[in-house]
Amino acid sequence: MSRGFGGIVKQAQAMQQKMAKMQEEMELLRIESSVGGGVVSAVVTGRQKLVSLKIDKSVVDPEDIDMLQDLILTAVNEAIKKSQDLQQEEMGKVTGGFNLPGLM
C-alpha cells in the first residue's frame, strides 16, 4: 500500500513543479487588448498584472472623460479576461483537465 502512496506523492510533487514553472512563465507572458480602433490598449501579464496602458492623445477630450474611462476599463478588462482564459488553459494542461480549486 505504501508503494501506491509513494507514487501519488511523486505525481503530486511533479505536478507542483510543473505548476510553479507555469506560474513563472505566465508572469513573463504579455497579453494585449486594444479598443476604440486602437486608441486605448492595455497589456497585462499572464498573472493579470497591468504592466502597460497606452492612450492615443486623439481620444483625450476634456469634454468627454466618460468615454475615455469606458475605453480604459474595457481594454484592461479584456486583457485580464484573455489572461485568465490562457491561464486556465495552461493549468488544464498541467492538471490533465482536473479542476483543482485554489491552485491559481
Q: What is the mean pLDDT of residues 7-35?
A: 87
The pLDDT value recorded for residue 90 is 84
Q: How is residue 14 written as a grid cell?
A: 511533479
The pLDDT value recorded for residue 15 is 81
Q: Are 44 and 50 in contact (CB under 8 A)?
A: yes
Q: What is the pLDDT of residues 32-48, one digit of tens each?
A: 999 999 999 999 999 89
Could you tell me whether strands 30-35 and 40-45 are parallel, antiparallel, or unpaired per DSSP bridges?
Answer: antiparallel
Which residues have C-beta within 8 Å of that of residue 21, sequence separation ≥ 6?
none
- Going by C-alpha positions, the residue among 7, 16, 89 that lies closest to residue 46 is 89
Kindly list the structural domains of the chain, giving each domain's residue range(s) and its CATH number in brackets, ordered by start: 2-94 (3.30.1310.10)
Place of cell 513573463: 28
Which residues have C-beta within 8 Å of that of residue 51, sequence separation ≥ 6?
30, 43, 44, 45
Q: What is the pLDDT of residues 53-104, one digit of tens each?
A: 999 999 999 999 999 999 999 999 999 999 999 988 888 887 776 655 555 5
- Beta-bridge partner residues of 34: 41
The pLDDT value recorded for residue 1 is 47
Which is higher by pLDDT, 22 or 35?
35
Place of cell 483625450: 60
